[in-house]
Structure 1
Amino acid sequence: ARERTTGFVSNREGVDPRLAAYTSTQAHSSLEKAIRVAGIGSDRLRTIDVDDTFAMIPEALDAAIRADLDAGLIPTFVSATVGTTSSTAIDPLRAIGEICHRHGVWLHVDAALAGTAALLPEMRWIHDGLELADSYVFNPHKWMLTNFDCTAFFVADRSVLIRTLSILPEYLRNKASESGEVFDYRDWHLPLGRRFRALKLWFVIRHYGVEGLQAIVREHLRLAQEFAGWVVDDPEFELAAPVPLNLICFRHRGGDERNEAIMNRLNASGRLFLTHTRLDGKFTLRMSIGQTHTEERHVRRAWELIRETAGLV
């Protein structure tokens, strides 16, 4: 109704022309959709440059915020990413968080895929500075062996969320909520009702146990490093990005058309499925290792198929 009434202008320009939001050029597309729905408008979503690892540059964020302040705008929201969709780049949370605190801006952290890696003590460096965030999400359905959909959502100060979303007609009043005996999550999100998503996550944790989940994630990380090593050792291929997690971004040195042909032929074969992105403007193949029962023999065979297919196109 809002968009029809405004001639589909407010999606771009927002409802309040003073508010501004910030994220990196590598952030997930859902971020722009959220900014539209929130009424900030995609015209005032600042996409911040990234470094050679595709992580947000804190100095560029600070400069963008200062420029908007000088222009009379109100910096409102920053979204940092731990494990970007294209390449699993990890934004420097501590530096970004310090900037947000200095300017009084809300910091959200999107760790949709990568949050699962923090099951491992040796991987918790990805969350360095997370204590500076106002909100955080990760998706157990992406890498924590849980069926879709299941998102874990955390806030540093729930009172802000509840104050924003709480509407309490008489028919919703009850003693348990009013006494504080239970948390009433109707005030934590837009819908009034919700499915019991936590149950399936509970079953996953009960079935595998923490050590079982850790073993699987650790093996995925090992296999990703092994695959990356095969790419580096092959003169016809190259890595397109660092491999901090379970996603390998790589490409054949033969150029965009050849890489796209390799992917299309592999995907049509039904034996392997690759996705793609563009990094530094170049067509890039993406190999994700995260299935529950993936073994080294599967990953090795996938690499063999990729090399065989590259020789046929």
Structure 2
Amino acid sequence: MDPGSFRRYGHQLVDWVAHYLEQVHKFPVLSPASPGEIRNKLPGHPPEKGEEMEQILADFQQIVLPGITHWNHPRFFAYFPANNSGPSILAELLTAGLGVNAMLWQTSPAATELEEVVMEWLRQMLVLPQDFRGVIQDTASTATLCALLCARERISQFQINREGFSAWSGSEKGALRVYASSEAHSSVEKGARIAGFGSQNLVPVSVDSSFALDPEDLERHILEDRQRGFTPCCIVATVGTTSSTALDPLEPVGDIAQRYGLWFHVDAALAGSAALLPEMRWILNGIERADSFVFNPHKWLFTNFDCSAFFCRHPQILSSTFSILPEYLKTDLDRQVTNFRDWGIQLGRRFRALKLWFVLRYYGVEGLQARLRRHLSLAQEFRTWVEQSPFFELMAPVPLNTICFRFHPPKPWGRKMGEEELDRLNKELLDQVNRAGKIFLTHTRLRGRYCLRLCIGQTETRREHVEEAWKELCGAPVVRDAERGIH
């Protein structure tokens, strides 16, 4: 593409994105596409000759866009957010234009040193321990896997890296065990599988009434495992569980990790951003006991996917776990600089620090805090609406921006609804509101009970959008039927 064409189409696409962000609230949040619908509109073979950009853009508009679920929509309340912002988008444009592979300091000094600076800024903003060193990973799943691998290598003194698990399993030390709450993210189990621990050696720890990890049950499992010949290796605590944003107590869990010599990893993928607020910093009390910590700016810090901030107290263990130095990657400056290729699984690395730098500079700490406070306040307001309604009930505490609740109408015809019937009604309610297209929610199960999740975290979500979500729920056919006493 010649420079003139690039300028023309580049301006056109920037205008398109700006218009899209202005008008995204007019789209149905959830794509109405059926399975296979998009694929069936695309040719089965690659084009033999190049096509005009006008046709490519037209096909994007007519074929691709109808199959998009609009994560930037202010009434997107599903999952956890993957939010965005203008400065982040513009930085991504620069990142793509530069085409940097940030694997070594030498391959782009600015990429490495900017990453060091923005990670230090984040460390200060969250008041993390001074000996934490940071690196940007793609996702918290990758960061947790890195933590598990570091835990494995520390306890084996890098024997498993050298000789494989067969050397460990042939010893008398017993299988390595990992401990996490029964509410921990699925990435912990996936990481345990990939790192060679195995799913059977991931020990689920029971939770209390708020769905937070029970330290007494954790210690009981560790002691029992030691008596049975296992080797306790790592504890993963979650600050802001995926189902309900429950907060595992870091101080007692960290004490247990130190008492028995376990690696202590903290997954705060969503909730870590909330710790930017002085009034919310308590959620990380005890983080000074952790060996590693992760949170995702791409979830709730207005930096587009992917951008995961991983901190480790032991950078030497981290780099020793991953470092392999073939001749073609050696440089004369290796002893003087940081080479982030040694700080994770990937060799090739995107220049992710640029968009984070743009966001932090554009909004500043105060601007970010204002948006986080707005979301937290809206979540508490929605919680109040649920509590005051005779047709809905809370299913979990609301410490952050996610409300777990369910439709539970008053006793119809003098009888009490069973759990299976309530599950059916709530599935029906979820299907009705999502199919209508004005809002998008997801569900979870807490103690086996089906409930709805509403997470407030999109960049442009304001009170009127949360009010509309409540109106959609209260006006759904299944709720109106209950009000009329039909069910």
Normalising by the residue count of structure 1, what TM-score does the alignment of the two structures yield? 0.93
Residue of structure 1 in register with 2:201 after alignment: 44
Aligned 1:15-54 pairs, distance under 5 A:
16=169, 18-54=175-211
- Taking the aligned partners of 2:303 and 2:481, their CA distance within structure 1 comes to 37
Aligned equivalent of 1:147, options 279, 292, 304: 304
The yes-or-no answer on 1:60 pairing with 2:229 is: no
Alignment of 1:87-236 (within 5 A): 87-179=244-336, 182-236=337-391
Equivalence for 1:256: 423
Which secondary structure does the structure 2 equivalent of 1:64 belong to?
helix
Q: Distance in 2 between matches of 1:311 and 1:201?
A: 45
CA apart distance, 1:312: 4.6
Could you say which residue in structure 1 is the equivalent of 2:402? 247
- Which of the pair is proportionally richer in strand? 1
For residue 67 of structure 1, report the CA deviation from its aligned partner: 0.5
1:80 counterpart = 2:80: no
The residue aligned with 2:444 is 277
Per mean C-alpha deviation after superposition, the further-off stretch among 272-281 and 252-261 is: 252-261
Deviation at 1:170, TM superposition (A): 2.2
Stretches of structure 2 that go unaligned for 5 or more consecutive residues are 1-164, 410-421, 483-487
The equivalent of 2:480 in structure 1 is 311
1:71-93 CA distances to partner (integer Å, 9 max, x unpaired)?
Answer: 11110111000000000000000
1:28-85 per-position Cα deviation (integer Å, ceiling 9, x unaligned): 0111010000000001110000000000000000000000100111101110000000
1:277 alignment partner AA: T
Question: Secondary structure of 1:298's partner?
Answer: helix
Secondary structure of 1:177 counterpart: coil
Identity of aligned residues (%): 55
2:469 pairs with 1:302:
yes
CA distance in 1: counterparts of 2:297 and 2:480, whole angstroms:
38
Q: What is the SS of the residue equivalent to 1:229? A: helix
Deviation (angstroms), 1:208: 1.3
Consecutive aligned runs of 4 or more in structure 1 exceeding 6 Å deviation: none
Deviations 1:118-141 (A, max 9, x none): 110100000000010001100111
Letter of the 1:311 counterpart: R
Give the Cα separation in 1 of the matches to 2:480 and 2:424: 14
CA distance in 1, matches of 2:460, 2:333: 43
User: Which amino acid is the alignment partner of residue 293 of structure 1?
Assistant: E
- What is the rounded CA distance, in whole Å, between the counterparts of 2:197 and 2:406 in structure 1? 37
Ranges in structure 1 where 5+ consecutive residues have no aligned partner: 1-13
Per-residue displacement from partner, 1:247-268 (whole Å, max 9, x unpaired)?
A: 0001111411111111001001
Cα RMSD, aligned residues only: 1.2
**How far 1:175 moved relative to its partner?**
2.6
- Describe the superposition over 1:219-277 as per-residue Cα deviations: whole angstroms up to 9, x where unpaired: 00000000000000001111100000000001111411111111001001111111000
Task: Determine whether 1:237 maps to 2:395.
Answer: no
The structure with the larger Rg is 2
Cα distance in 1 between the residues matched to 2:378 and 2:230: 47
Paired amino acid for 2:461: T
Q: 1:283-309 deviations in whole A, cap 9, x for unaligned?
A: 110011001111111111110110111
The letter for the 2-side match of 1:143 is W
Cα deviation for residue 144 of structure 1 reads 0.7
Q: Distance in 2 between matches of 1:308 and 1:80?
A: 39
In structure 1, C-alpha distance between the alignment counterparts of 2:401 and 2:426, rounded to whole Å: 21
Greater Cα shift, 80-89 or 192-201: 192-201
Aligned letter for 1:271?
K
Greater RCO (Cα-Cα under 8 Å, separation 6 or more): 2
Out of 283, 288, 307, which is 2:455 matched to? 288
Alpha-carbon distance in structure 2 between the residues aligned to 1:237 and 1:118: 30
Residue 8 of structure 1 is matched in structure 2 by: none
Offset at residue 201 of structure 1 (A): 1.1
